[in-house]
């Protein structure tokens, strides 16, 4: 199934392509840097611009993504086709097909007031993050944000700035 990724959020580059590649290269021993270079060349040939020069070897890897899934479509073993510019003439699959290794339920809730240590405070707001019914501690939320490709918890909650219920689609063995 196709998963579309943003290249910019609020006019700021996400570097998701490079971060996803970093995770794929770490996880899949049969996929190499030269494969990444091949996709970069194809991108340049198609769009006459190279993919970002962002040094993908020096970044934190994006090793999963969140998606709403009201019809329960995502299952272990499904093929993931990572793309940018989905549903446009500029659609580009920027990495090889990988498999969905696991799926976890995630809920992000903005709390009005709380006394629990299991919430994360960010920019004056209080959030509770639950995965498979377990509430994450602040340090776990920081790790979750990094693993989802965000540079900081602030960037993460800037994107997930309202209640969210969905799934974490994993293409590595990591689970929370």
| Residue 175 belongs to a domain | no
pLDDT at 142: 95
pTM of the full structure: 0.88
Contact 165, 70 (CB under 8 A): no
pLDDT at 6: 95
| Residue 27 belongs to a domain | yes
> Which of 128, 134, 118 minimizes the C-alpha distance to 163?
128
- Ranges of residues in the chain with a pLDDT under 70 are 53-58, 113-117
| Residue 176 belongs to a domain | no
- Domain total of the chain: 1
Residue-range definition of the domain harbouring residue 60: 2-170
Backbone angles phi, psi at 36, to 5 degrees: -60, -45
pLDDT at 33: 85
| Residue 160 belongs to a domain | yes
């Amino acid at each position: 199934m196709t998963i579309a990724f943003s290249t910019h959020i609020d006019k700021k580059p996400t570097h998701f392509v490079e971060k996803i590649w970093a995770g794929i290269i770490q996880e899949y021993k049969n996929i190499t840097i030269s494969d990444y270079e091949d996709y970069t060349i194809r991108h340049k040939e198609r769009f006459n611009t190279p993919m970002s020069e962002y040094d993908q070897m020096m970044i934190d890897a994006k090793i999963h993504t969140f998606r709403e899934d009201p019809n329960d479509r995502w299952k272990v073993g499904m093929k993931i086709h990572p793309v940018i510019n989905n549903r446009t003439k500029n659609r580009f699959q920027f990495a090889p097909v990988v498999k969905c290794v696991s799926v976890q339920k995630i809920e992000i809730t903005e709390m009005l007031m709380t006394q629990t240590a299991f919430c994360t405070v960010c920019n004056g707001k209080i959030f509770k993050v639950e995965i498979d019914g377990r509430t994450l501690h602040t340090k776990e939320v920081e790790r979750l944000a990094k693993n989802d490709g965000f540079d900081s918890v602030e960037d993460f909650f800037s994107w997930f700035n309202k209640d969210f219920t969905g799934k974490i689609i994993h293409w590595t063995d990591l689970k929370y």
